Amino acid sequence: MAARSEQLQPSPSFSKVPQATQKLIGAEILLHCLVAEGVDTMFGMPGGVLLSFYEALPNFPINHILVRHEQGAAHMAEGYARATGKPGVMMATSGPGATNLVTGLADAYYDSIPVVAITGNVPSGLLGNDAFQEADIVGITRPVTKHNIIVRRAEDLAQAIKEAFHVATTGRPGPVLVDIPKDILLASAEFNYEQTEIDLPGYQNPETYTAEDIEQILSLLKEAKQPVLLSGGGVINAGAHAEVTAFAERFNMPVSCSLMGLGGFSATHPLYMGFCGMHGQYWANIAIANADLLLVVGNRLGDRQTGKTDRFARNAKIVHIDLDPSTLQKNVETFLPVQGEIKSIFTQLLAKTEDMAPFSESLNSRPQWFETIDSWKTRRKPEVFPDGFLSPQHVIERLFHWMPEDGFVTTEVGQHQMWAAQRFNLSRPRSFISSGGLGTMGFGFPAALGVQAAFPDKTVLDIAGDGSFQMTLQELATARDHGLAVKIAIINNGYLGMVRQWQDKTWDRPSQSRMTSPDYTKLAEAYGGVGFVVNHPDEVDEVIQKAYAITDRPVIIDFRVKEKADVYPWVPAGGANEDMLTEDQNS
């Protein structure tokens, strides 16, 4: 035992990355690498194969958030990354610890989120022998990571970590996993991070757009009478919101955002039409359907965005701009696919259009285009609810109304997520954080904890469904232990609401979608938080303000809303966006 302690004795300069070559054990090398990559916060849970790492961890300037389930660690790392733009880091032990990360890695993969997962594994000599808590996590996660690797030598560990952060954060961002056997964390190797080189000959992020592409976009803009810009999550990832906003302003062009694009264009801007897609604003979808030019920027055009693809923007010449060439011409045939870095492309477009005289004819048509869009807005009747009825839509509107401008909103997945997207009213990129491509129930609450860990002094709200929240509510203990004073607004309708809506409208009967909930006020108190119940519209504003004012513990607000409120507009599966169902048609 004494020999083991001596072997794990920390090196004398933990707080600084060594400037010269030193001989360190793998666990120390890993921690020095994380510090060198700027990691200040990570999320994880120890296990037997990671004990050398956790022995050394207290000597390093890294805030480790101890989770209650590894899936929570993955979503917290996602929330941290989505809010900061920096890579989120998660840690899990071998076997079930590592496999519990898979859902979060898949979620990050679909939504292009830079996270680095570090997993321990059984000693190298036991790999492939069905050892206790062994799992081929590299093989398991290959379809849902941008890159993954198992480290076979301590000498290769620093390079693996440097390459992991490089791949996660360059090109189209995404998740990377580094699996480290127990003996590699204990083995000694020489370490000098400055001299560690990246060697990824097959990894490139070429830009293929040309000057001709820029000129063709400008030529199309001269002809367009009814243009629309569709802003996606890639605009946020690229840090290109300022350039895209300036471009839209210059061309007086209406803008709609995808779910992942919310915040990339200010919701308070007069050019903003709103959220689009399956549950998007009616007029935004109709405007896209009637556009003669559609600029799709940083959006993979998934099925929830497009509806029936052969009728998506069928009157428009579609220009699709994206960094990832695999998204171009994949789901929708476009007139002009342009592959390249969004910020660079829009910087060039702005530089080429300082003189707007060539576009005067197009710009002269814009008032009529906005009048037409406004006419689609007036066709929609306002939502009216009986006196005393607590509607989920009203609750979410008031949550946004009282939200500080510098606050953050996360969501779970379901009806509440779509109502929140429709009513989003913040003006900053990275202020709305939701699970898009994978649609992961249980995402929002741990993601909110990751955001709060990054911004401890900001208001962070999770808009939750009673179904989603119950999947990861054990992380209330994490919130309490680390002083993460998130607010959880539960839109409690007693159902798996989106499932029930589909069952009611497209099948014969609801089945297995009714749910019961615990007493959320008692649950909050049990975990050291504060709980409220709201049953009447007159209570909504007062309770929200009280909740936002609490800054030292987590808060749950249980909004008891109408059980069978439905999300509209709604494009049923296989339909075109312009054929969306509305409240008027289903009252």
What is the residue-wise DSSP string for 368-405?
A: HHHHHHHHHHHTSPPP---TT---HHHHHHHHHHHS-T
Cβ contacts of 348 within 8 Å, gap of 6 or more: 214
Place of tokens 């979608």: 513
Torsion angles phi and psi, residue 119, rounded to 5: -120, 145
Closest CA to 558 of 450, 469, 475, 478: 469
**What whole-number distance in Å separates Cα of residue 49 and Cα of residue 119?**
9
Q: What is the pLDDT of residue 379?
A: 67
Both ends of the chain: CA-CA distance in Å?
A: 73
**What whole-number distance in Å separates Cα of residue 244 and Cα of residue 298?**
11
List average pLDDT for each run of 10 residues in the chain, which is 587 residues long: 35 61 94 97 97 97 98 98 98 98 98 98 90 94 98 97 97 97 97 92 87 97 97 97 98 97 97 95 96 97 92 95 94 96 97 96 97 87 67 96 97 96 95 96 98 98 97 97 98 90 87 93 97 96 98 97 91 89 61
- Bridge partners (DSSP) listed for residue 89: 116
Q: What is the pLDDT of residue 283?
A: 95
Handedness of CA 281, 264, 394, 435 (dihedral sign): positive
Closest CA to 117 of 203, 176, 35, 173: 176
- The helix-helix angle for 342-352 and 211-223 (nearest 10°) equals 60
Q: What is the pLDDT of residue 385?
A: 63
**What whole-number distance in Å separates Cα of residue 77 and Cα of residue 92?**
12
**What whole-number distance in Å separates Cα of residue 263 and Cα of residue 257?**
8
Type of residue at 301: L
The pTM (predicted TM-score) of the whole model is: 0.94
Cβ contacts of 247 within 8 Å, gap of 6 or more: 229, 253, 346, 349, 350
Side-chain-side CA neighbours of 390 within 13 Å: the count stands at 20
For 178, the 3-state DSSP assignment is strand
**What whole-number distance in Å separates Cα of residue 466 and Cα of residue 518?**
10
**What whole-number distance in Å separates Cα of residue 576 and Cα of residue 574?**
7
Longest Cα separation, the chain = 83
- The helix-helix angle for 157-169 and 26-36 (nearest 10°) equals 30
* Helix (H), strand (E) at residue 541: helix 537-549
**What whole-number distance in Å separates Cα of residue 560 and Cα of residue 553?**
22
Q: What is the pLDDT of residue 497?
A: 83
For 514, the 3-state DSSP assignment is strand
At 63-107, the pLDDT tens digits run 999 999 999 999 999 999 999 999 999 999 999 999 999 999 999
Query: Alpha carbon of 510 to those of 216, 233, 495, 499, 504: distances in Å?
Result: 52, 34, 10, 8, 6
**What whole-number distance in Å separates Cα of residue 497 and Cα of residue 341?**
39
- The helix-helix angle for 537-549 and 392-402 (nearest 10°) equals 40
**What whole-number distance in Å separates Cα of residue 321 and Cα of residue 297?**
5
Torsion angles phi and psi, residue 457, rounded to 5: -100, 5
Torsion angles phi and psi, residue 268, rounded to 5: -95, 0
Positions marked active-site: 70, 132-133, 182, 498
**What whole-number distance in Å separates Cα of residue 77 and Cα of residue 174?**
12
Q: What is the pLDDT of residue 21?
A: 82
Structure tokens at 331: 């789901």
Check: CB of residue 326 under 8 Å from CB of residue 259.
Answer: no
Spell out the domains of the chain, with CATH numbers in brackets: 2-195 (3.40.50.970), 211-378 (3.40.50.1220), 392-561 (3.40.50.970)
Let me know how many helices (H) and strands (E) the chain has, helices first.
Answer: 25, 20
Structure tokens at 525: 């108190």
Long-range CB pairs of 7-13, under 8 A, 24+ apart, other chains included: 7/186, 8/52, 8/55, 8/56, 8/186, 10/56, 10/59
